[in-house]
Amino acid sequence: MLMNYSSATEFYLLGFPGSEELHHILFAIFFFFYLVTLMGNTVIIMIVCVDRRLQSPMYFFLGHLSALEILVTTIIVPVMLWGLLLPGMQTISLSACVVQLFLYLAVGTTEFALLGAMAVDRYVAGCNPLRYNIIMNRHTCNFVVLVSWVFGFLFQIWPVYVMFQLTYCKSNVVNNFFCDRGQLLKLSCNNTLFTEFILLMAVFVLFGSLIPTIVSYAYIISTILKKIPSSSGGRKSFSTCASHFTCVVIGYSSCLFLYVKPKQTQAADYNRVVSLMVSVVTPFLNPFFFTLRNDKVIEALRDGVKRCCQLFRN
């Protein structure tokens, strides 16, 4: 516990409650999730880059989404795994806390911007297929991805800077497995009203990318129902957007709970669970969403496995 006049130069991550045996079980589970996340998303990036059948805007965006999933889980999970192996609380310096929080928020912001772009891409493909290659050309796709990355990292500079201008004198124990900004606000002895207002800028990111997603899917569903009367044709068309829509639902619902609730400093246990969804579960599931429901990706994976087997045989 800190004295009232001093500010923390390091923090203690409380991590997960429970016994040492429980921590070892959680370590094994999360380590497995992390390895599968790395391998699954890396495989998607590789086949998107190598296979000619996947040289289209949809898979170009998917490759960048997989890269973002690798980043977001790598920013959080290794620190969390190390904390599960340590007895007691884990120490993290103030500078490391700043870097972790900034990268986590910046990568998340970039991911939401990219999900919005992917929704618009699906809209053009479903509602204006004849002009799809003209509208979503290589120059447009590169520009959209570049803007998403630059916007994501620039947007979070000011909120994170304001966040760490606060004085953390109530305590230096963070009730989470990473530098959660809601818990950091709880430790500050300053008036955090203005800071919370700054941090609610996340609302603009969420709804700024959610609006084109909702509008795009409204047009897609309307077009499918009007132009494809057969049930089999409708199911096929819906299935092309199902993977992206599933990721949108999980991602937005989790982050809306974390960052758009009235009080950032409450519900530490719920924050811990939802943070796990964002940083561990969703990156783990995304490769399965985009492979099990996509015939082209499955064919590319099957051909890749055959080529690898032939190389080993030779």
In the predicted model, is pLDDT for residue 5 greater than 70? no
Task: For residue 2, tell me if it sits in a domain.
Answer: no
Q: How many structural domains compose the chain?
A: 1
Q: Are 188 and 166 in contact (CB under 8 A)?
A: yes
Task: For residue 66, tell me if it sits in a domain.
Answer: yes
Percent of the chain with pLDDT over 70: 77
Q: Which of 24-33, 89-98, 196-205 has the highest mean pLDDT?
A: 24-33
Task: For residue 193, tell me if it sits in a domain.
Answer: yes
Q: Model confidence over 74-119: pLDDT tens digits? A: 999 999 999 898 877 788 888 899 899 999 989 988 988 888 888 8
224 compared with 150, residue with greater pLDDT: 150
118 compared with 70, residue with greater pLDDT: 70
Q: Kindly report the pTM of this predicted structure.
A: 0.85
> What confidence tier does 233 reach under pLDDT thresholds 50, 70, 90?
very low
Q: Model confidence over 248-268: pLDDT tens digits? A: 776 666 666 665 554 544 466
Task: For residue 3, tell me if it sits in a domain.
Answer: no
Q: Which domain holds residue 306?
A: 10-313
Task: For residue 229, tell me if it sits in a domain.
Answer: yes
Q: What is the pLDDT of residue 274?
A: 79
Task: For residue 5, tell me if it sits in a domain.
Answer: no
Q: What is the pLDDT of residue 3?
A: 46
Compute the mean pLDDT over every residue in the chain, rounded to the nearest whole number: 80
Residue 299 maps to which CATH number? 1.20.1070.10
Task: For residue 4, tell me if it sits in a domain.
Answer: no
Task: For residue 49, tell me if it sits in a domain.
Answer: yes
